[in-house]
Chain A
Amino acid sequence: MAKVLVVTSGKGGVGKTTSTAALGAALAQCGQNVVVVDFDVGLRNLDLVMGAERRVVFDLINVVQGDAKLSQALIRDKRLDKLSLLPASQTRDKDNLTDEGIARVISELRERFDWIICDSPAGIERGATLAMRHADVAVVVTNPEVSSVRDSDRIIGLLDSKTEKAEKGERVEKHLLLTRYDPVRAERGEMLKKEDVLEILSIPLLGIIPESAEVVRASNVGAPVTLNNPNSAAGRAYLDAARRLNGDAVVTPEKRGLFSKLFTRRAA
C-alpha cells in the first residue's frame, strides 16, 4: 500500500527540502518506488537540491489544473530509476492549487509509487496544510533550538487536527527528525539535547542528522547526501532513518541508548 509522507516543520530553513531529497533517495536506494513532490509553490528548491533544475517542463500546478498529464510532469532521476520528482511552479501562486486537484493528483500518485514524499513550505498557512492534508506519515524536522521546537509543536497540533486522517478520527503517524545537531555543543549545555527535544515534543525519534559540511556539499552539486556521500555521518543517518520508515529494524551498536529510547517511546 502506498504511503503519503509529509516533511514539515513550521519554521523555515531547518532542513525540510534537504531531508525530503535525502529520505526520498534513501528509500529508492532500498528498492522502493518513490516520488518527491515539491509543495513550496513560488519558492521551489527541491529540483535544485536534486540536480534536476534544468529538466523541469511542467509542474504540480499544471497537473492540478489539467494542463499537463502527470507522466509529462514527473522527472525520473538520472542516478536512481526508482526515484522521481514532481516539481513546484516557480511563477504561479499557490491559490492555483485546489483541494480537489491535489486530492486527485495524490490518488494518481498512490497508484504508481510506494512512497509519495511531500516537501512542505514553511509556515502554518494554507501551503503547509495542503502539503500535510493527505499524509499517512509525517516527518517533523526540528533543529535543537527554541523557536524550531515551538514551531514543531504547533505543526504537531495541526497534524492532529487539520489532516484528512485526523478528520476521520485516525492518526497520522508522526516521527521526529532532529537535524543540524551538534552533539558537542549539546553536551556542553549550549544547545538543547535530543532528550530535551524528545521529552518536550513526545513523538518517536526517527533519526538525528548531524550538522555537516557534507550536506551542504551535496546540495552544491545537486545530489542527495545519501547518494553523494553515503558513508558520511549525515548520509548514514538518513539511510538509517529511511530504513526505519520502511519498517526495518535498525540497531547501531554505538547508539543503542538512543534506540532503546526510540522503542520505549513507541511502546508507551
Chain B
Amino acid sequence: MSFFNFLNRRTSAPVARERLQILLAHERGIVGGQPDLVATLREEILAVIAKHMAVERDNVQVKMDRGASVSTLEVDIEIPTPDSVVRPAA
C-alpha cells in the first residue's frame, strides 16, 4: 500500500484522468437533456444487486464514455469474496 501511494504521489495524472472520466459521465447526462442518466442507472443497478448479495455502494461504478459513433457504458462492481468475510476464530 505504501509503495502504491509512493507511485501515486509521483504520477498524479492517472488519478486526474480517472476522476475526470467518472465526473464527466455524470455531467454529460445533465447537458444532454437526460437528467443524470448515469446516476439513475447506478441506483437501479445497485437495487438489483442488493436483492442477491451485499455490496458496498462505493464499489459500484457506472461510467459512460462518449465516442464519435458509439458510446459505451461501463459497469464495474466489486463484490466481496467469501474469504474476505470475517469469520469467527475457530
Q: Which A residues lie at the B interface, using CB under 8 A? A: 145-146, 149-150, 153-154, 157-158, 161, 186, 188-193, 196, 200, 202, 265, 268
Nearest 4 CB-CB pairs, A to B? A189-B11, A157-B31, A196-B17, A189-B13
Quote the shortest CB–CB distance from A166 to chain B (angstroms): 12
Q: Which of B1-41 contact A (CB under 8 A)?
A: 10-14, 16-17, 19-21, 23-24, 27-28, 31-33
Interface 9-residue window, one of B44-52, B53-61, B65-73, B81-89: B65-73
Chain A min CB distance to B35 (Å): 14
Cβ-defined partner of B13 (8 Å) among A150, A154, A190, A202: A190
CB distance from B22 to the nearest CB of A (A): 11
**Considering only CB atoms, which chain A residue lies closest to B18 in the complex?**
A196
Distance in angstroms from B67 CB to nearest chain A CB is 6
Q: By the criterion of a CB under 8 Å from any partner CB, how many residues of chain B are at the interface?
A: 22
User: What would 4 more interface pairs be, CB under 8 Å, given A153-B27, A153-B28, A202-B65?
Assistant: A190-B12, A193-B13, A196-B17, A200-B17
Q: How far is the CA of A44 from the CA of B69 in the complex (A)?
A: 38
- A–B complex contacts, Cβ < 8 Å, 14 sampled: A150-B23, A150-B27, A153-B24, A153-B27, A154-B31, A158-B31, A161-B33, A188-B11, A189-B10, A189-B13, A192-B17, A193-B13, A200-B21, A202-B68
Q: Does A146 contact B68, Cβ atoms closer than 8 Å?
A: no
| Chain B hits for A196, CB < 8 A | 13, 16-17
Assuming A161-B31, A202-B68, A265-B68, is B11 touching A149 (CB within 8 A)?
no
A189-B11 Cα distance, complex, nearest whole Å? 4
- Interface-central residue, B16, B28, B69, by most chain A CB under 10 Å: B16
Which residue of the partner chain, among B16, B19, B32, B66, contacts A202 with CB atoms under 8 Å? B66
How far is it, in angstroms, between the C-alpha of A186 and the C-alpha of B17 when the chains are bound? 12
Do the beta carbons of A146 and B11 come within 8 Å of each other? no
Q: How many Å from the CB of A178 to the closest CB on chain B? A: 14
Q: With a CB–CB cut-off of 8 A, which chain A residues contact B23?
A: 150
B19, A268: Cβ atoms under 8 Å? Answer: no
B73 smallest CB distance to A (angstroms): 15
Which B residues are CB-close (under 8 A) to A193? Answer: 13
If A202-B67, A268-B68 touch, whether A191 touches B24 (CB-CB below 8 Å) is no
What residues of A have a CB within 8 angstroms of the CB of B21 in the complex? Answer: 200
Which one of B13, B33, B68 contacts A191 once the chains associate, using CB atoms below 8 Å? B13
Known: A188-B11, A190-B12. A154 touches B68 (CB 8 A): no
Whole-angstrom distance between the Cβ of A205 and the nearest chain B Cβ: 13
Determine the chain B residues whose CB is within 8 A of the CB of A191 once the complex forms: 13
* Least CB separation from B67: chain A residue: A202
Contact across chains for A190 and B20 when beta carbons are under 8 A apart? no
Give the complex CA separation of A154 and B17 in angstroms.
16
A149: chain B residues at CB < 8 Å are 20
Determine the distance from Cα of A202 to Cα of B13 in the docked complex, in whole angstroms. 18
With A157-B31, A202-B66, A268-B68 as contacts: A192 and B24 at CB distance below 8 Å:
no
Within 8 Å by CB of B32, from A150, A157, A188, lies A157
